[in-house]
Amino acid sequence: MDTIPSLNTLRSIKTTKNIGETFEGFKKGDDLDQPLSPMARLFHEPGSNVYIIGIMGLKTKIRPNVFKENLVHTFLKNRRFSSLQVMDKETGSMKWIPTHVNIDDHVIVPKLDPNINSPDKFVEDFISNLSRSHIDNIKPLWDLHILDIKTSEAEGTCVFRFHHSLGDGVSLMNLLLACTRKVSDPEALPTLPGNNKLGVAKVASLWSTLGVIWNSFLALLMFVWTALFLEDTRTPMKGSKGVEHRARRFVVRSVSLDDIKMVKRAMNVSLNDVVLGITQAGFYRYLQGRYSNENADIPDNMRFRATFFFNLRPTTRIDDFTDTDSVGTWGNKIGYSLLPFKICFKKDPLDYVVDANTTMKHRKASLEPLFTYLFTKLLMILFGIKVVGKVNHKVFFNTTLWFSNVPGPQEEITFFGHKVAYIAPSCYGQPNALMIHVVSYMDKVTFIISADEETIPDPHKLCNDLEESLRDIKASAQNRIVK
């Protein structure tokens, strides 16, 4: 398979100190240079140079001119989307430099044959080809590709691409949702489920406080060991060296939210526990098939971990997308936990959910996401960006996958007046062969697979296995209710 070009190809751009002489419209003499935050700068390091993809299926024909007009009044009001990221050759530091944006340079509308064979595969191939490239740093690091072709799920597809230095998945999802409105109330923003900080333990006594501190210390120790030497078991889902430079395949599969809620009620667990249980069951089913094809057995007691991302912001409400200085709104404010998956046969499919619930209870009694975030910042202060980039790469490569979920709108929405059929965020450029991203929207939960095809040549099979696992878990839960 062809490899994508190196994503770490930022080159220096000549600018002047007098911004007024360089960018028309700024007051002469203004010093508008703003340094990139250390976390944003980190995403330009090899192995951490990640792009976020936002796939949005629409129920109506796309009007590109409407998109362009609205993007000028939304995205471009945010300085991150109207500034260059300029590297200083001497210091290696980077700054946001305001620039004039030609919206046509960022909104790409390829001419497509409406009678093309297999539109679904064409759209999938198009998005996969995007992961072979990067955005040239002579313009702000985002773009939008409008595919005006009908698929089985939508009348047209929009593919947003953002460099991760612009913000994390939560802030970028916030940006997109701030451009949407409820179908039932065209003046109202959508609502998101939940309003609490994720990944922060709640303690009620001295004993529980000590337990949280101990769990957090052990988690941080595991983080250090993983950065030094502790690698997951080599399986058909574990990526090889250089995986971050290879193209990805993005596959989207939606399941019923009501089915997941039914299991949640039957087991008295969280929706997230059910989703993790489905994922573990699906992984076992998939690996069983891969090992059977090789006439081998699944290894016992394999080490199989996910880098599980947590939002560290105070709330999940939709904020003003134009305010890049709003506390907690922008930037990369995410921590992560190294989440062990138990890949083994369970006679009762509900036991996968039980295992997920037990694992998550342990993680919730810990400050691991906050500790990893603060520890990364401390390493950055002590040793610099280059060292942290290498540490992050080693941790991510030594685990098997990335896992993330983001709550989506609870009601049907429009995006710039177009009804939305589905929302599917994902990433490429990460040093893992697999990422599972889960997002809820209306009555659906969507699994988005980002897979290195050299490692996982059949991501549709993995989606089928996830769907079959939900059916088995749902059937077992129904039997429990009847009894």
Q: HSE (CB half, 13 Å, CA atoms) of 71?
A: 19
Residue 332 carries which side chain, given as an amino acid letter?
A: N
- The answer to whether the CB of 306 falls within 8 A of the CB of 272 is no
Q: SS3 for 403?
A: strand
The DSSP element (H or E) to which 371 belongs, if any, is helix 368-383
Q: Which two tokens stand for residue 293?
A: 């094809």
Residues identified as active-site: 164
- The answer to whether the CB of 336 falls within 8 A of the CB of 391 is no
Show the DSSP H helices in 399-458 as ranges.
none
DSSP assignment of 191-252 equals --S--S-SS-----SHHHHHHHHHHHHHHHHHHHHHHHT------TTSPPTTGGGB-EEEEE
DSSP E strands: which ranges in 76-170? 83-87, 94-98, 107-108, 142-147, 156-163
Q: Which of 164, 168, 161, 165 is nearest to 336 (CA)?
A: 168
CA 245 to mean position of chain CA atoms: 17
Q: Which of 132, 74, 129, 151 is nearest to 106 (CA)?
A: 74
Distant-in-sequence, close-in-space partners of 169: CB < 8 Å, separation ≥ 6 = 52, 309, 334, 404, 406, 425, 427
Q: Which of 272, 250, 251, 253 is nearest to 261 (CA)?
A: 272
CA distance linking residue 3 with residue 246, whole number of Å: 5
Q: Which two tokens stand for residue 282?
A: 């699906």
Q: Which two tokens stand for residue 360?
A: 């998550």
